[in-house]
Structure 1
Amino acid sequence: MEANVTKEEDVKNYVDQTVNKFGSVDVFFNNAGIIGEVGPIDQQSLENFNKVLSINAMGIFLGMKHVIPVMKKQQYGSIINTSSVDGLRGSPNMAPYATAKHAVVGLTKTASLEVAENNVRVNSIHPAPVSGDMMKTVHQGQSASQGNEDEQVQEEITKGIPLGHYADSKNIANLVLFLASDESEFITGAEYRVDGGMGAAG
C-alpha cells in the first residue's frame, strides 16, 4: 500500500491494514528516507531542512509510535530503523541529512529502553554509500558545489571506503534479515554499521 510517512493518518492506516490482514506485525523495517539538497549550511533552505527531517526523522518516529503498541500487545517484535554512516559522524554539505540520521540513533536507543520489558527489540543500521539513485543525487550536488565531475566525486567518496567500493542493496538486506530473525534475539539498542570499514578508518 502507498503511504506518506510524514502523515500520521497514512502511517496509522498502514499499520492497521497490516494487522487486519496478517494479525500481527512481527518485523518493522523503518526505511523511508531522502537525501535532500546538497550544499553548505549557510546555503541550505529552511524548507529543505524541514522536508528532510520530516521524512527521515519524523517518519521514523511516527512508524514506531503506531507499530510499538501492536508489538507490546503481542509481547514480541523487531524494529529496524535505517540511519546512515552519516548518523555517526559529520557530513559536509549534507547538514539536514546528517541531522536527521543522528536523530534516528536517539529515537532507536530511547525506544529500545522503553519496550525492552515487552520483548520488543529496536536497532539501527548504518549503511555506507549504496549504489543507486540516492548516491546519484549526492554526486550531482557535490559536483555543483566543488566544480568536479560526478565521476570524480564518486572516486573521492570511494577512497574513504576501505573495501574500495559502494555497498550493494543486498549487503544491507542481509543485515536487516539478521536483525529481523530470532538469531538476534538478545540484541537491542545497537548501532550496526554495514559500511565497508568506514567506521574503522575514522
Structure 2
Amino acid sequence: MTNLDGKVAVVTGAASGIGAATARTFAARGARVIVADIDDARGEAVAADLGDHSAYLHTDVRKESDVADAVASAVDRFGRLDCMVNNAGRVGTWTFLEDTSLEEWEDGFAVLARSAFLGTKHAARVMRDQGSGSIVNVSSVAGVRTGFGPHPYSAAKAAVLQLTRTAAVELAEFHIRVNALIPGGVATRIVGHGAGLEDEALDRSVDAVRRSLGKFQPIPRAGEPEDLAHAAAYLASDDSTFVTGQTLGVDGGLALGKKWPSNYRDEARAASSRTAAH
C-alpha cells in the first residue's frame, strides 16, 4: 500500500464521488486532508469521518479567494502542503453547439479549467518554497476522445491536460510534479447530474449507472471512485517522484476504443470458413 504518512493534501470536490474516495484513501494511508467543496453537509460529514487529521472548508473553486484560502488552510492547520488534487467538476447539459449558451460554456470552463489553474497556481506558490510537491489534475476521457461529454465539458477537460503539461515543465526544477488522471465511466453522482436527475434520485442512480457502464468498457465493469483514489495516492506519494507531465488513464480501456462484440470472433471464423470453401 502506498504510504502517505506525514503528507498534507487539499482535495477539491471532496464531498462525494472521486473526491470523497480520494480524501478517505489519503487519510487511511497517513495523510492529513483539507476537504474542500461547496456541499457543506456532505463535506462536513466526510471530514468528520476522517477525524482530527482532516478539516472541511467551504470552497467555490470558481473563486480565486476560496482556492487560495483552501491552500492557506492546509498550511495554517497542518504546516505544509504536499499534494493538491484539483478534482471538483460538473458535467453540464448535453446540447448541440447552436443551443449551447455562452453562460453554460463559461461556467463549464470556470468549474473545470479555471479551478485547475487556480489550484495549480496557489499550490505551486507554497510548494516552491518547500522545494517539493505533487499536483494532480482530474481530467476525463472526454478530454481526449469525442462523444463522452458536452462541448464545454470536453473542451475544458482537454484544457486541463495541456495546463498539466505546461505547468509540469515550469515547475519541475522546483521538484514540483504535475500529473493528470483520466477517468472513464465512473459510478458517481455527477453522472446522474449530467443526466438531469434531481438530488433525491442521484444516490439511486449510482447503482443504475454502475450496471450500465459495465456494458461498454473493455474491462467489463464500471469504474469506482476508489480506482481513481488509488491512482491519485500513487501520484501524491514518494513512489512517483520521477513522474511528471503525464496523463494516467484509469478508464478500463475506454479511451482505446470500442470493445469487440462478444460474437465477433465466431462470426469472423464462420465467414473465413465460407470463403475457404469457395
Fold conserved (TM > 0.5)? yes
Q: Specify the alignment match of 1:4 in structure 2.
A: 60
Distance, in Å, in 2 between the alignment partners of 1:23 and 1:154 is 39
Q: Is the Cα–Cα contact under 8 Å of residues 139 and 154 in structure 1 kept in the other structure?
A: no
Q: Is the Cα–Cα contact under 8 Å of residues 30 and 80 in structure 1 kept in the other structure?
A: yes
Q: Tell me by how many angstroms 1:155 deviates.
A: 7.5
Evaluate the alpha carbon distance shift between residue 12 and residue 165 of structure 1 in structure 2; reply closer, same or farther with a 3 A threshold.
Answer: same
Evaluate the alpha carbon distance shift between residue 49 and residue 167 of structure 1 in structure 2; reply closer, same or farther with a 3 A threshold.
Answer: same
Which aligned runs of 4 or more in structure 1 are off by greater than 6 angstroms? Answer: 151-156
2:128 aligns with one of 60, 68, 72:
72
Structure number with bigger Rg: 2
Evaluate the alpha carbon distance shift between residue 136 and residue 20 of structure 1 in structure 2; reply closer, same or farther with a 3 A threshold.
Answer: same
Q: Tell me by how many angstroms 1:95 deviates.
A: 0.5
Q: Tell me by how many angstroms 1:42 deviates.
A: 1.7
SS in 1 for 2:249: strand
Distance, in Å, in 2 between the alignment partners of 1:57 and 1:130 is 20
Q: TM-score, normalising length from structure 1?
A: 0.88
Distance, in Å, in 2 between the alignment partners of 1:165 and 1:138 is 20
Evaluate the alpha carbon distance shift between residue 85 and residue 92 of structure 1 in structure 2; reply closer, same or farther with a 3 A threshold.
Answer: closer
1:138 aligns with one of 183, 194, 198:
194
> 5 Å matches for 1:152-171?
158-171=214-227
Q: Specify the alignment match of 1:173 in structure 2.
A: 229
2:185 is equivalent to residue 129 of structure 1: yes
Q: Specify the alignment match of 1:144 in structure 2.
A: none
2:209 is equivalent to residue 191 of structure 1: no
Q: TM-score, normalising length from structure 2?
A: 0.65
> 5 Å matches for 1:75-114?
75-91=131-147, 94-114=150-170
- Post-superposition Cα deviations, 1:5-50, rounded to whole Å, max 9, x if no partner, equal 1111111111112111111101111111111111221221111111
Percent of pairs with identical residues: 36
Distance, in Å, in 1 between the alignment partners of 2:209 and 2:125 is 44
SS in 2 for 1:135: helix
Q: Specify the alignment match of 2:100 in structure 1.
A: 44
Q: Tell me by how many angstroms 1:153 deviates.
A: 9.1
Q: Tell me by how many angstroms 1:180 deviates.
A: 0.7
Paired residues, number: 193
Q: Is the Cα–Cα contact under 8 Å of residues 158 and 166 in structure 1 kept in the other structure?
A: yes
Q: Is the Cα–Cα contact under 8 Å of residues 186 and 210 in structure 2 kept in the other structure?
A: no
SS in 2 for 1:163: coil
Evaluate the alpha carbon distance shift between residue 161 and residue 48 of structure 1 in structure 2; reply closer, same or farther with a 3 A threshold.
Answer: same
- Kindly report the root-mean-square deviation, in angstroms, between the aligned alpha carbons of the 2 structures: 2.1
SS in 2 for 1:91: coil
- Unaligned runs of 5+ residues in structure 2 are 1-56, 198-206, 259-278
